[in-house]
Chain A
């Protein structure tokens, strides 16, 4: 049951970032192609049935689309700002950079000291 939930979320992600309607075959390919076509189709149908996705007929197949509005787009765009890799990290000034396990211990001690002195 939990796996279905994750798959639903992945399918929604794909359709949301695509911004256009996709057929079941296209969604399956986007997921990596190692899932059964019927599995993907079932998930899409279920989402369309519960009103989360919009289903439209394209030729002989159905295409599914995630509903979008401005707020949704802005939120998605803003969340992309949180993906900071090595290259992006070099052009930003981050408040706290990577720590080692040893650092964590040292910091916990320091914080305890600060809080203790404050009390």
Chain B
């Protein structure tokens, strides 16, 4: 088991490092469709392996062992993970579980708030406001919300590009895909950069869809123009679609090409993305290997706990109940010899 646990850790780390690089090489729709399930699988594996590791240690405590029951002696004898390591796994597991739960609750509440706010309105909601704003909400019943302030700043072709972009978000359920990536990152911070790559790929996917309906140049110009619109009301800049650990404006490691918005424009001015089979294969190998290692951890864990739960092992620790033997006091005094 220790080998498999280490393998899961290293493979997750490998994916965390390779994910963003490989994801950027893939066409956006392929990147999203491959990275999101991989993120979910990796996040789940991480939690599972932590739980099994922690349990091998927790199970050694008599109080816990008595519940199933298990033999703490057997667990201690085979002690696959040394106690400090397993204790650390438990601590990390609790922190990540809380982080994941908190993230899920916050987003669940925001989803309900949006649903409530947009109830009864049409699929495209135009709000009379100077503030430039345009977004798509999560389905079912997803809507496009856009302000007159934004529409007025664009020409008819650019307006078409904007709406086509937002409609692509609705059609392909992008908000939900982004939420899965977010939660995976909340539950495994190593996956934060990959989740950010997914967020960027979701926008690129919608951009490419909009480019099909108008032209790559039109969409590029629309993005740049919208980004450069002044916000009339004095207030904070719109908060970016940020990953869990990101609270500032969109930043990227590629300083020269700027943050994500300039990258979107540049990508549209470049030739359309082409399939990258090698990158896809590499991602698949990493994900499958991690799942395989997780399965080995599960198998080893099952073996260990089955042995510990074996009746003979348990009996050695907890003697079987014996019928009470009558003591001398049970014999009435007058019959005593």
Contact = CB atoms under 8 A, between A and B. Distances in A.
A82 B129 contact: yes
B131 A82 contact: yes
Interface stretch (B62-70, B74-82, B103-111): B103-111
B241 A92 contact: yes
Nearest to A83: B117
Nearest to A118: B217
Interface string A85-108: 111111111111111101110111
B299 interface: no
Contact of A99 (B111, B128, B135, B249): B249
Contacts of B131: 82
B301 interface: no
A94 B242 contact: no
Q: How many B residues touch the partner, as a band?
A: 35 or more
A67 B169 CA distance: 39
Which of B136, B220, B223, B240 has most chain A Cβ within 10 Å? B240
B240 A97 contact: yes
Contacts of A90: 106-107, 110, 178-179, 182, 241-242
B261 A99 contact: yes
B118 A81 contact: yes
Given A99-B250, A107-B262, A92 B238 contact: no
Interface string B106-135: 110111011001100100010111010111
B166 A93 contact: yes
Contacts of A106: 257-258, 262
A82 B127 contact: yes
Given A78-B121, A87-B109, A111-B224, A98 B239 contact: yes
A2 B71 CA distance: 79
A86 B247 contact: yes
Contacts of B175: 91-93
Interface stretch (B47-55, B225-233, B314-322): B225-233
B129 A103 contact: no
Contacts of B226: 95-96
A78 to B, nearest CB: 5
Interface residues of A, number: 37
A87 B118 CA distance: 16
A103 B121 contact: no
Contact of B220 (A88, A94, A114): A114
Given A79-B129, A91-B107, A107 B265 contact: yes
B107 A93 contact: no
Contact of B165 (A75, A95, A117): A95
B250 A100 contact: yes
B138 interface: yes
B202 A93 contact: yes
Contact of B241 (A81, A97, A103, A110): A97
A88 B224 CA distance: 24
A98 B134 CA distance: 13
A9 to B, nearest CB: 13
A69 interface: no
A93 B250 contact: no
B162 interface: yes
Interface in B260-282: 260-262, 265-266, 269
Contact of B110 (A80, A91, A97): A91
Contact of A98 (B179, B217, B240): B240
B334 interface: no
B133 A78 contact: no
A90 B169 CA distance: 14
28 contacts: A79-B127, A82-B129, A82-B147, A86-B239, A88-B113, A89-B240, A90-B106, A90-B241, A90-B242, A91-B137, A92-B136, A92-B138, A93-B135, A93-B174, A94-B133, A94-B241, A95-B226, A96-B134, A96-B227, A97-B260, A98-B237, A100-B251, A102-B258, A108-B228, A110-B224, A110-B265, A111-B221, A115-B221
Given A84-B238, A99-B237, 14 more contacts: A78-B127, A87-B109, A88-B114, A90-B242, A92-B135, A95-B226, A97-B260, A98-B242, A99-B250, A102-B258, A107-B261, A108-B224, A110-B220, A110-B269
